[in-house]
Amino acid sequence: MTFQIKDLLEEAEAYLAKPKVASTVNRYRRVYKTMNLSGLGAVGYVAHVAVVMPAQFVLTRSAIIYGLWTGISHKIREAVRKITQRLTVSATDDVNLAAAYRQMIEDLHKQNPPQDAFTRKGKSKRGCLRILPDNWRKRLADNTSAEALPAVLVSLLSGCRPEELSMGITVSVINDRYLCISINGAKVTEKNGQPWRKLTFDVGLSDLAAVLWRITSRKGGVLQVKREPRTLHKNMVSASAKAGLPSICAYIARHYLASQLKHAWCDDKKAIAMALGHASTATQKAYETRQQGRKGGLALVSVEAARQVRTPDRPHPGLAKEDFLPQEDEAVASPWNLEPSPYD
């Protein structure tokens, strides 16, 4: 029994030792919390996601497996602490729960990804940008179907997240020269992200902005653009193939906008953060450098957002702590516990 517990702890620590960036751990925590609130349990919740949100299957399963391994580590540490205090019954319960978590991980690995799941490894956005020609956005738009063109143009100009397009984005004509794109933000919490932002474009600075301006004008000056992430991805990949370009997705457009903004607005990190939908300048580190922005084509002239942007002297509250595991001599509840557990 002791040998099995030691093996289980070593297995958990080896898994958790694999490097994970803070944003990924935070995202995993949000998914794990949603699973707990659902009341479906780990295996049941992943099965539910496979049916209703197949594109999120891989992320959801990875997040819950990570949380279960964290829970295993915590429960075994708690059991060791309780044994030293002669709390044998409670320690046995913790060990049994850790074993149940391990069985859940086995069950999750046996679940096959649904047909529409994103199972491929993502390509480096920076690497893709470096090999793209200067006119890649125009070539992509020229080869996009008329039905998908408004959504693709909004993505190329605003760098919006696919999830934001799925919620609906409003494009409005201000006058003969200016166009406004209003976005309701995704990845928004009580302190993180921008609930909304408005981007103003000079149509004389970009052919893409001019095309979107004409489309919106024909619709009476206001256009509601909505596209599901999976559909948008297929549209952009198809247009990329027709244009003779590497496969392009919405996040490549987002990274390119970040590069343009860093090149043109290098001294105004707060404005760059607002344009990308961030509430902190610290998040910009994950995006493209300014070199790629020298290709030009930036038509964004002003931005307005719901929240003031935090700067480095005010640490980003969304960053995960380096060590969120409790010490062996501390009785701290793990944020990764299953409540309630289907194995109780």
3-state helix/strand/coil string of 175-233: CCCEEEEEEECCCCCCCCCCCEEEEEEEHHHCHHHHHHHHHHHHCCCEEEECCCHHHHH
| Gap between the Cα atoms of 98 and 63, Å rounded | 17
- Mean pLDDT over 106-110 rounds to 91
Phi, psi of 225 (to 5 degrees): -110, 125
Shared domain check, 286 and 224 = yes
- Asked if residue 88 belongs to a domain, the reply is yes
259: CATH:
1.10.443
Shared domain check, 129 and 81 = no
Residue that terminates a domain, selected from 60, 80, 110: 110
> Roughly what angle, to the nearest 10 degrees, separates helices 149-158 and 207-218?
130
- Asked if residue 119 belongs to a domain, the reply is no
Q: Which of 13-27, 118-132, 213-227, 304-318 has the lowest mean pLDDT?
A: 118-132
- Asked if residue 213 belongs to a domain, the reply is yes
Shared domain check, 32 and 160 = no
Structure tokens at 165: 């397009």
- Asked if residue 328 belongs to a domain, the reply is no
pLDDT digits (tens, 9 = 90+) for 238-247: 999 999 998 8
Shared domain check, 299 and 198 = yes
Q: Which domain holds residue 22?
A: 2-110
pLDDT digits (tens, 9 = 90+) for 165-184: 999 999 999 999 999 999 99
- Asked if residue 327 belongs to a domain, the reply is no
Shared domain check, 40 and 93 = yes
| Gap between the Cα atoms of 221 and 122, Å rounded | 37
Instruction: Give the pLDDT band (50/70/90) at residue 321.
Output: very low
Shared domain check, 70 and 204 = no
- 275 three-class SS: helix
- Asked if residue 324 belongs to a domain, the reply is no
| Gap between the Cα atoms of 300 and 276, Å rounded | 12
Shared domain check, 265 and 165 = yes
Residue with the two structure tokens 């919006």: 160
Shared domain check, 137 and 279 = yes
The alpha-carbon radius of gyration of the chain (Å, integer) is: 24
Residue that terminates a domain, selected from 83, 110, 137: 110
Q: Which of 105, 100, 96 is nearest to 43 (CA)?
A: 105
216, HSE (Cβ side, Cα atoms, 13 Å):
29
Shared domain check, 274 and 139 = yes
| Gap between the Cα atoms of 270 and 300, Å rounded | 15
Total domains present in the chain: 2
Instruction: Give the pLDDT band (50/70/90) at residue 284.
Output: low
